[in-house]
A and B are shown apart, each in its own frame.
Chain A
Amino acid sequence: MIMKKKDELHDELNEHAPFLREFKKADDGFQVPDGYFESVEDSVFRQLEAIGATRHAPAPKHRPSLWQVLQSLWQPRIALAFAGVLAVAFSAWWLFRPATDGTTDSRTHLMVSAEDAESYLLENPMQLEPEDLAAAFPEGQLPAITLENGGSNTPGEAVRLAPEDLELLLRDMTDEELGNLHAL
């Protein structure tokens, strides 16, 4: 093995720097004081004692506990990011949560039954435009409007009022409304 190493170096020097191969045969001229190597150990230990050198012990190899993993994760950056995610999630829940007052969420109307809607329309016909009323009911299915005196009518049929009802109605009307009747 050593011979092989020497041969490799010999070939390398022959190829790249033959003159260096010749130099290698001679002594390089470096010397040490007599007994130097015998004193190295004691000299090193004296220095270690003088500087109070301590050994670095390897860290114990064990699996970190769940608490240690959580502690390592609990860094300020990670905590801030976690708080940010929580804030975004809470905001999303707040914006899209089910409405409780029934005034802003359109889905509230979906919860009103068809019967309730029909009742509302029939009880408050004057609050709706004729187009809205027509759109609310399929063509031909417009229900009869029951008036306070128990009468009813169907689409296209003239409203017939009892004379006393008509008198009450005329009495409640303002002068302007009476004028409008004449205009009709």
Chain B
Amino acid sequence: MPPTNKPASDEQILQLLRSDNTFERGFRMLMNVYKERLYWHIRRMVLVHEDADDVLQNTFVKIYRGVLLFEGKSKLYTWLYRIATNEAITFLQNRKRHHASAIDDGDNGLSNRLRADSWFDGDAVQLQLQEAITQLPDKQRTVFNLRYYDEMPYEEMSRVLDTSVGALKASFHHAAKKIESYFRQADHF
């Protein structure tokens, strides 16, 4: 396949993955196309770069192991987002369990880690927005991030999260209200 600047299509990637001889090339191509989107999705869930890097690596390991089982019933990126979301939520839950007996809870720990992250240079308002998002339950946080940052249509989000469109809209609405309430309490309005 001649080198080109045009990103490879899912069909091209899957074609390469089906043969042992071209699997590695196909997998590199998959990572090249999707690594940034998946990274930012994971980063907004776990906030800290080092954690996002770990989760992204684990996500690609899972994809490597299971990509031949992908049956093509959904879009490839829907399947990839689902794996990345599960990995990020599992990571957050494990960390919450790990910090359960600590003085601060998992969510405050998350915002503290964000403050200490050298790869975050947001201002006070951006920091507060991230703190507000960390107060949301994991699933609601995922819905908010997918809609607000990734601008994913509800129909696709429904396939990623196995949830009805109506429930996702309600979840986003509640998340937005909670964030607004968080800011009101901090007298930002």
Contact = CB atoms under 8 A, between A and B. Distances in A.
B39 A16 contact: no
A41 B28 contact: yes
Contacts of A28: 44, 122, 126, 129-130, 149
Interface string B146-189: 01110101000000000000000000110011011001000001
B129 to A, nearest CB: 6
Contacts of A54: 65
A58 B69 contact: yes
Interface residues of A, number: 36
B60 A44 contact: yes
How many B residues are at the interface, by size bracket?
A: 35 or more
A29 B64 contact: no
A32 B50 CA distance: 10
B68 A17 contact: no
Contact of A16 (B64, B125, B177): B177
B57 A44 contact: yes
B123 interface: yes
A16 B148 CA distance: 12
Given A19-B180, A37-B36, A47 B65 contact: no
A170 interface: no
Nearest to B40: A30
A24 B151 CA distance: 11
B43 A30 contact: yes
A32 B47 CA distance: 11
Interface of A: 5-6, 8-9, 12-13, 16-17, 19-20, 23-24, 26-33, 36-37, 40-41, 43-45, 47-48, 51, 53-58
Interface of B: 23-24, 28, 31-32, 35-36, 39-40, 43-44, 49, 53, 56-57, 60-61, 64-69, 119-123, 125-127, 129-130, 147-149, 151, 153, 172-173, 176-177, 179-180, 183, 189
6 contacts: A9-B148, A23-B129, A27-B126, A29-B126, A40-B56, A41-B32
